[in-house]
Amino acid sequence: MISALNRLVDLVEDHLGEEPDVPALAAGHGTTEYHLRRMFSSLAGMPLSEYVRRRRMTVAAADVVRGGDDLLGIAVRYGYGSTEAFGRAFRSVHGAAPRDVRRAGGPLRSQPQLRFRLTVEGSASMDTRFTDRPAFRLIGHATRVPLIHEGVNPHIQQHIAALPREAHARLKSLGDTEPAGLLQVSDDVAQDSPEGTELTYLHGVAVSAGTPAPDDLDAIEVPAGTWAVFRSSGPYPDALQTTWASTASEWFPSNPWRLRPGPSIVAVLDRADDFTTATTELWLPVEPA
């Protein structure tokens, strides 16, 4: 995976004026575009599309400042069909229009070329298990929320707080299969997973595939497959988010598995009354790499 990510960075650099052929690169490294993009986003802290835009504008800025070519020619060279589209991308990175930068020489913001390395630190091992699950359903109360990588997501908090107390008890009574208990489900997450991207959040339970969902509840159909289950304990949500990040930075690069499309599920096994600490299980859909 580390080799594939670095080759992806090289591919971007070699073809700044066009979209990188991520599916072909992924296939050549025995993985999938979905997994490659998700790992890039998790480790780089930005989606691949954002990194491509920043690198294009970093290199294009030199052409703008030198002043040898007209702006339309520079725009076309870096994959834009008009000076307007190029100008919007340029301003989003540098905070100033190309013409202003050409005249004043700045301001400019540089995106260095990324390089991924696997660092073995010998830290605490990750508590992981695998389970093969038949198809099941996730039912509950769903909403659309922005993705937030660190700290409590206030939009999720508001969604859960708006549910009456009896709704939680009702959900618990409906669950009849693993993952057990009340679940925090994230679905429809973009491949690149940039912060702020909307996803579907469902507060609910798991039921067997044949269990009907009440008309007033939302449902997510989950196909059969293998799940990697990561347990964590400690401050909430910090310990859970650290585990989530470690799956990308440590676990997947070191193990012959890759993500497959599907929801990620958090089961809360135990928690303090004020929810400042908790023991959780993070369920991620995986397949052999």
Q: pLDDT per residue over 158-179, tens digit each?
A: 999 999 989 999 999 999 999 9
- Position of tokens 């609910």? 204
**What share of the chain has pLDDT > 90, as a percent?**
36
Chain segment 9-22, per-residue pLDDT in tens: 999 998 888 888 99
Average confidence (pLDDT) over 108-114: 83
What single letter denotes the amino acid at residue 256? P
CA–CA gap between residue 207 and residue 188 (Å, rounded): 20
Q: Which of 289, 266, 234 is nearest to 124 (CA)?
A: 234
**Could you tell me the sign of the dihedral formed by the alpha carbons of 141, 143, 147, 151, in that order?**
negative
Exposed e or buried b per residue across 124-162, where buried means at least 16 C-beta atoms within 10 angstroms of its C-beta = eebebeeeebeebbbbbbbbebebeeeeebeebeebeee
Least Cα distance to 38 among 28, 30, 50, 46 occurs for 46
Residue closest to 167 by CA, chosen among 216, 126, 209: 216
Please name every residue paired with 265 in a beta bridge, in sequence order, or none if there are none. Answer: 185, 283
Contact 279, 239 (CB under 8 A): no
Beta bridge pairs of residue 220: 138
Percent of the chain with pLDDT over 70: 93
Could you tell me which residues are beta bridge partners of residue 226? 132, 286
pLDDT tens for each residue of 43-54: 887 889 889 888
Rounded to 5 degrees, what angle do the CA atoms 199, 205, 208 make?
Answer: 110
User: Residue 20 carries which side chain, given as an amino acid letter?
Assistant: P
pTM of the model: 0.69
Cβ count within 10 A of residue 198 = 14
What 3-state class would DSSP assign to 10? helix
